[in-house]
Structure 1
Amino acid sequence: MNTNLSLYRIFCSVAEHKNISKAASELYISQPAISKAIQKLEQNLGVTLFHRNSRGVLLTAEGELLYQQVLFAFQALQKGEEDLKKIHELGIGQLRIGVSTSLCKYLLLPYLKSFLERYPHVKITIDCQSSLHTIKLLEERKIDIGLVGKPKHLRQLTFQPVAQLTDVFVATQTYLDNLKVRSMDTKTDFIKQGNVMLLDGENLTRQYINEYLQANKIEPNQVLEVNNMDLLIDFAKIGIGIACVIKEFVQAELDTGLLTELKLNSLIPKREVGFAYDASSFMTQTMKWFLDHVNEHQ
């Protein structure tokens, strides 16, 4: 469209009033300026839009056709402005979040609860995947924000930390006592000889733990892989084996003695968890609301 939008606004006003003088009064423009704008529009389109007479102006057949379309366009623009105002006033929006099941349960839900109390009209969709898969979805721009363990290489992603997590090995005391019967001497022997339960190999947490085990020359003889940390915790609680879990997620069980933490010779370093997003792409108002909310509640 090569025609200036203001020309169409002048055209609509003249068409509605059927009078150049009244259109000039409504738009606070001189009558010669109105006439010049109509002439320019007619020249641009190559058609005559008005019949002139002593009483005013009337639309030609071409002018009537154009008027209906322009009127529809201006109504659509007005509705768009009203919708934007409504979105701003009510906090309407959509947010796509990627997160692992465990991080969703223990970290994301409290943020979501308070966020939706503040912005009840925001539509939230959650894709529960591993942190590695969540990062891939972020890079493909299929989600807006991901709650993940901090990766080694962020690439184009921005990372906003919200917590530090501690990985620990836990089991029931009964399971550990049974291992001791089989002549266990040191704490690390528990992991070497016991049934060690870990997240599957595609998980970011598993990769982090693998690096720790390799650095400390600890090689479990028997490994049970699970793709969900809640299952690891449940398996540990019924005495199936030794699970590598996040300490903050089993603190209640440790406090009550339902689970016992293995005291290793070398502590597993804490790691950061936070919200990652692609700052190089367009950031929606809803994303800004959510990230501001996270900052306020840390």
Structure 2
Amino acid sequence: MALELNDLRYFLEVRQKGSLTSAAKSLGITQPSLTAAMQRLERHYGTTLLLRDRTGVRLTVTGRALAHDATEIFEVLGRAERRVLGLEDQESGRFVIGSHESLAAYFLPDLVRRVVGEHPTIEIAIFNAASAAVAEAVVDRAVDFGIVVNPKPHPDLVLVELFDDAVDFFVLS
């Protein structure tokens, strides 16, 4: 018997709502349909996933393990969907930011959080190194751009001054 993703989705809703009745209402299905879906899951795994009593339902140990894994499955499916849709919209990809170690700790957490929050299909990687190594990584196209201190001019790079205290931005010309 094949596992149905809807059955897993229903299972997570039962866990969240704590009762079959509330979950069925939330899902817009009948309680007997939801009960049948939970029974299919239990048959599929050969174990009891839910303990039912007059106050609602609780997950068994195996139910909690399944809920954890099912949550991860749906997170991965969501990321895949966002990535595919982002590719169509040209709003996805991987960017590597090169940064001097001290600047990375100060500037990058907020920047990365904002970019990923606004564009969840964009993946950001950080390359921490001394400023000269970051500049070379930009030239070698190992990083997309670099944030450095005390930059040395380079003929292949455009230097954008970010602050008066010698914190600058490199990008390939």
TM-score (norm 1): 0.30
Deviation at 1:28, TM superposition (A): 0.8
The answer for the alignment partner of 2:78 in structure 1 is 78
Counterpart Cα distance in 2 of 1:92 and 1:52: 44
Q: Secondary structure at the match of 1:48?
A: coil
Query: What's the secondary structure of 1:51's corresponding residue?
Result: strand
Q: 1:30 and 1:50 mapped to 2: Cα distance?
A: 18
For structure 1, which runs of at least 5 residues remain unmatched after alignment? Answer: 94-298
User: Cα distance, 1:2 vs. partner?
Assistant: 2.2
Aligned to 1:14: 14
**For residues 52 and 91 of structure 2, what CA distance do their matches in structure 1 show?**
49
Question: How many angstroms does 1:7 deviate by?
Answer: 1.0
- How far the C-alpha of 1:48 sits from its partner, in A, is 0.2
The letter for the 2-side match of 1:72 is E
Structural mapping, 1:85-104, within 5 Å = 85-90=85-90
Counterpart Cα distance in 2 of 1:84 and 1:26 = 28
1:151-194 deviations in Å (ceiling 9; x for gaps) = xxxxxxxxxxxxxxxxxxxxxxxxxxxxxxxxxxxxxxxxxxxx
Number of the residue aligned with 1:66? 66
- Using the alignment, how far apart are the partners of 1:11 and 1:87 within structure 2? 31
Cα deviation, 1:133-155, whole Å, max 9, x if unaligned, reads: xxxxxxxxxxxxxxxxxxxxxxx
1:81-230 equivalence runs, <5 A: 81-90=81-90
1:45 pairs with 2:48: no
Amino acid at match of 1:29: I
CA distance in 1, matches of 2:91, 2:51: 48
User: Runs (4+) of structure 1 moved beyond 3 Å?
Assistant: none
Relative to structure 1, the CA distance from residue 65 to residue 91 in structure 2 (aligned partners, 3 Å threshold; closer, same or farther) is closer
- The superposition leaves residues 104-136 of structure 1 with CA deviations (integer Å, 9 ceiling, x where unpaired) of xxxxxxxxxxxxxxxxxxxxxxxxxxxxxxxxx
Distance 1:92 1:42 in 2: 38
- How many angstroms apart in 1 are the aligned matches of 2:38 and 2:91? 41
Change (3 A) 1:54 1:80: same
Shift of 1:77: 0.5
1:6 aligns to what SS in structure 2? helix
Task: Write the deviation string for residues 69-124 of structure 1: whole angstroms up to 9, x where unpaired.
Answer: 0110001101111122221112657xxxxxxxxxxxxxxxxxxxxxxxxxxxxxxx
Q: Larger RCO: Structure 1 or Structure 2 (Cα < 8 Å, ≥ 6 residues apart)? A: 1
Give the 3-state SS of the residue equivalent to 2:51 in structure 1: strand
Change (3 A) 1:91 1:70: closer
Q: Which has the larger radius of gyration?
A: 1
Residue aligned with 1:22, SS: helix
Q: Give the deviation of 1:37 after TM superposition.
A: 0.9
User: In 1, are the aligned partners of 2:24 and 2:30 still within 8 Å (CA)?
Assistant: yes
Q: Give the secondary-structure state (helix, strand or coil) at the position aligned to 2:47.
A: coil
Looking at structure 2, the residues matched to 91 and 82 of structure 1 have their Cα atoms a distance apart, in angstroms, of 10
Ranges in structure 2 where 5+ consecutive residues have no aligned partner: 94-173
| Equivalent-residue separation in structure 2 for 1:64 and 1:57 (angstroms) | 12
Counterpart residue number, 2:36: 36
The residue that corresponds to 1:25 in the other structure is 25
Overall identity of the aligned pairs, in %:
31
Shift of 1:45: 0.9
